[in-house]
């Protein structure tokens, strides 16, 4: 493995840690407030996703036309501005949307730089490392961020602000390469053309739709748990919810770690198997009534999710590098998966306003994931010979 991946691992760990710490800090703000309604948390998630959808035509080209390492620095600084706005008491929906803008810019550069420092044979492994370290960041970001926020919202926000700045400094150590020539055309039209080009093969369509399914499922589980855990498991603080979500994250780490041996890029169609298991475990989770059983199910859901998403990410990066550019491919992926997350979280937010229970929402989610997996798998990509 190229040694240049190590500063990337550290920088993205700190940035992802801060992303999740700031989310659970805002969740703590909502739980401690008597004025904010139940729909506020899914609304926060929605404004974060909107940035990915709206900026998709520009951030991919930006990542390919400029040095991705420098874009990582800019993105972290934008996230830091969002954290600073929260410190200053600006409306959380606006401030968290700014964090989302930074994240939308960060993602194509973070994943797009991987094919530049890892070849075909190590790309799944590099993705496994990135995904695993990201989940570690999510775990510690959730738990530590929630604990600090339960103690002091201000200290939690200042901590995330500092981490974004440190991550920006570490990103200076990454190589500054430009993979695509600059194109001054109209970005929205170019983005539409990229979608047409990218969807020409069964393999690319399968990868984009599968990634969208995974992230819509993950976002839905995450927001449903925030209402489901207090109702069913009697949790009362942001820390308790974060500790429960810990098992989901640990499962993704395990799945990400073992997937290179089980699902190489040449056998991408195998990802449908963990997707089916993931939907099955979500359905079972809706019937759980104890923290122990819920923790076990969340771990299994996470493991299947790790097995599902890592090969998909690697395939999208490789396809993108050979066609529209790796940064453009990640931006396109982000566009579709964030549209899917917006629809999923938006539907859940609307259902909450109608009085649908979190238990019913969890059960319905599992059934929908199973059905979507079946539909997406109707036309599977063919096996590819090893490079």
Residue with tokens 């066609």: 323
C-beta atoms surrounding 88 within 10 Å: 9
First and final C-alpha spacing in the chain = 17
Encoded tokens for 72: 């990582």
HEC sequence for 162-211: HHHHHHHHHHHHCCCCCCCCCCCCCHHHHHHHHHHHHCCCHHHHHHHHHH
Specify whether the CB–CB gap between 120 and 318 falls below 8 A: yes
Specify whether the CB–CB gap between 153 and 248 falls below 8 A: no
**CA-CA distance, 184 to 48, in Å (whole number)?**
28
- Give the per-residue pLDDT at 73: 92
**CA-CA distance, 90 to 277, in Å (whole number)?**
42
Specify whether the CB–CB gap between 327 and 62 falls below 8 A: yes
Under 8 Å CB-to-CB from 280, ≥6 apart: which residues?
A: 366, 370
Mean pLDDT by 10 residues, the chain (387 residues): 78 91 84 69 80 81 78 93 92 90 87 72 73 80 86 91 94 72 65 77 82 86 84 77 81 83 78 92 90 90 89 78 67 81 85 84 92 84 57
**CA-CA distance, 229 to 329, in Å (whole number)?**
36
DSSP helix/strand/coil, 378: coil
Under 8 Å CB-to-CB from 20, ≥6 apart: which residues?
A: 137, 138, 141, 142, 145
Half-sphere exposure of 268 (CA within 13 A, CB side): 31
- Give the per-residue pLDDT at 387: 45
Q: Which structural domains are found in the chain, ordered by start?
A: 5-171+187-376 (1.20.1250.20)
DSSP 8-state code for residue 237:
S
**CA-CA distance, 319 to 299, in Å (whole number)?**
31
- Give the per-residue pLDDT at 368: 92
Encoded tokens for 202: 């069964």
**CA-CA distance, 43 to 371, in Å (whole number)?**
26
**Which of these, 353, 334, 378, 307, lies nearest to 38 by C-alpha position?**
353
């Amino acid at each position: 493995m190229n040694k240049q991946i190590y500063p990337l691992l550290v920088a993205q760990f700190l940035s992802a840690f801060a992303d999740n710490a700031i989310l659970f800090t805002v969740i703590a703000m909502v739980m401690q407030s008597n004025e904010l309604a139940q729909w506020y948390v899914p609304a926060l998630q929605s404004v974060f996703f909107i940035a990915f959808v709206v900026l998709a035509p520009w951030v991919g080209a930006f990542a390919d036309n400029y040095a991705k390492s420098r874009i990582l620095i800019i993105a972290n600084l934008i996230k830091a501005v969002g954290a600073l706005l929260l410190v200053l008491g600006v409306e959380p929906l606006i401030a968290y949307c700014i964090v989302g803008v930074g994240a939308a810019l960060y993602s194509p550069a973070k994943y797009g730089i991987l094919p530049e420092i890892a070849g075909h044979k190590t790309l799944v492994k590099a993705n496994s490392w990135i995904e695993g370290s990201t989940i570690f960041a999510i775990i510690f970001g959730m738990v530590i961020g929630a604990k600090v926020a339960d103690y002091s919202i201000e200290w939690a926000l200042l901590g995330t602000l500092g981490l974004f700045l440190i991550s920006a400094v570490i990103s200076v150590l990454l190589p500054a390469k430009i993979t695509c020539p600059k194109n001054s055309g109209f970005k929205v039209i170019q983005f539409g053309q990229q979608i047409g080009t990218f969807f020409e093969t069964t393999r690319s369509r399968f990868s984009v739709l599968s990634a969208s399914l995974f992230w819509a499922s993950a976002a839905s589980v995450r927001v449903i748990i925030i209402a489901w855990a207090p109702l069913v498991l009697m949790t009362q603080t942001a820390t308790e919810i974060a500790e429960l979500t810990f098992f989901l994250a640990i499962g993704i780490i395990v799945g990400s770690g073992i997937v290179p041996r089980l699902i190489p890029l040449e056998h991408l169609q195998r990802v449908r198997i963990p997707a089916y298991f993931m939907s099955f475990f979500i359905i079972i989770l809706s019937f759980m009534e104890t923290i122990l059983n819920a923790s076990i199910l969340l771990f299994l859901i996470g493991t299947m999710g790790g097995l599902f998403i890592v090969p998909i990410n690697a395939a999208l990066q490789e396809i993108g590098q050979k066609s529209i550019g790796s940064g453009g491919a990640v931006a396109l992926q982000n566009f579709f998966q964030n549209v899917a997350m917006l629809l999923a979280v938006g539907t859940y937010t609307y259902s909450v306003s109608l009085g649908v229970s979190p238990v019913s929402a969890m059960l319905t989610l599992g059934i929908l994931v199973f059905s979507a997996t079946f539909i997406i798998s109707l036309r599977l990509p063919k096996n590819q010979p090893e490079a």
